[in-house]
Amino acid sequence: MGCTVAFIAVCLLISGIASSQEAASKADAKDWIQLFNGKNLDGWTVKIAKHKISDNFGDTFRVENGLLKISYDHYEKLDGQFGHLFYKDKFSYYLIAVEYRFVGEQAKGGPDWAYRNNGIMIHSQSAESMGLDQDFPTSIEVQLLGGDGVHDRPNGNVCTPGTNIVIDGGLFTPHCYHLVAKTYHGDQWVRVVAEVLGSERVTHYVEGTPVITYTKPQLGGELKNPIFAGRDGELLNEGYIALQAESHPTEFRKVELLNLVGCMDKKASNFKAYLVKADNSLCKY
């Protein structure tokens, strides 16, 4: 049986794998890795379409007053320059959490669909492997949306540039799966968490509520980098994490990760109860 949106909580319990809330409740605050240090972009690499790697065109990604900001005040007009900020390390089983808000006006030239729209890219290719003009990395997108004050705009959708996923037991090949979920209007802070379990399962949480779960993230579909040609159906078990810049100013006050891989030997001094994937080579006695 597939985990439909309506039965996500039940499915997580049946699966026998701890949900993100359970894992987080067992972890100490110090177990979370602060990917954003609140001071600078150390550990991150910029890649903006039409620009070489590390060219932070227009100072798009910046840190001000302890916030990681995506800004367009140095742009005359957006010309397809979609950007991504990549963290330096790969991960496989983990929780990635961001606290973000949309602010101000969309950049001139930004497409209608990108209004108050950004995302967390998971299981992503590296910044170094992206083409010069490539819009989006081959990855899975945890979509971050904001409302326009009037219309429903459910938050936490999944989009699939160069990839496919399995939902309710069937291969889902359209670019985005749109939810029936809460809309967050205005400039309020919102916390979104993705529980990523290798190629087994991914679940999105918005303000602690599970909104979608899917399985078997894999290569396939459109918007694929040529380096992945002929590899459709190959499961994605790990990859990089990136934050999007899709034309609307966005602020992040927190980007943190709880690694779910580690020592699971209870005899070890660094045993962690919340882990779901064993790497006992890391154990200390």
Res. 16 pLDDT band, cuts 50 70 90: very low
Average confidence (pLDDT) over 84-106:
97
pLDDT (tens digit, 9 = 90+) per residue, 137-163? 999 999 999 999 999 899 999 999 999
Least confident of 119-123, 127-131, 149-153, 278-282: 149-153
Class of domain 5-282: mainly beta
Query: Quick one: pLDDT at residue 17?
Result: 47
Res. 197 pLDDT band, cuts 50 70 90: very high
Q: Is pLDDT at 18 greater than 60 in this prediction?
A: no
Query: Quick one: pLDDT at residue 45?
Result: 98
Rounded CA separation 152/138 (Å): 28
Query: Quick one: pLDDT at residue 25?
Result: 74
Rounded CA separation 143/181 (Å): 13
Sheet strands side by side (includes 44-48) = 44-48, 83-87, 240-245, 117-124, 140-145, 158-159, 176-177
- Please provide the average confidence, as pLDDT, over all residues in the chain: 92
pLDDT (tens digit, 9 = 90+) per residue, 44-69? 999 999 999 999 999 999 999 999 99
Query: Quick one: pLDDT at residue 250?
Result: 98
Query: Quick one: pLDDT at residue 19?
Result: 60
Q: What would the two tokens of residue 74 be? A: 């140095």
Query: Quick one: pLDDT at residue 21?
Result: 60
Rounded CA separation 44/87 (Å): 5
Percent of the chain with pLDDT over 90: 86
Closest residue by Cα to residue 139 from 61, 85, 183, 79:
85
Average confidence (pLDDT) over 156-171:
96
Q: Is pLDDT at 207 greater than 80 in this prediction?
A: yes
Average confidence (pLDDT) over 92-100:
97
In angstroms, how far is CA 23 from the centroid of its own chain?
18
87 C-beta neighbours (distance < 10 Å), count: 21
8 A C-beta contact, residue 108 and residue 77: yes
Q: Is pLDDT at 183 greater than 50 in this prediction?
A: yes
Rounded CA separation 77/149 (Å): 25
pTM: 0.92
Average confidence (pLDDT) over 167-177:
95
8 A C-beta contact, residue 135 and residue 123: no
Query: Quick one: pLDDT at residue 155?
Result: 95
8 A C-beta contact, residue 253 and residue 206: no
8 A C-beta contact, residue 3 and residue 213: yes
Rounded CA separation 204/192 (Å): 7
Query: Quick one: pLDDT at residue 4?
Result: 55
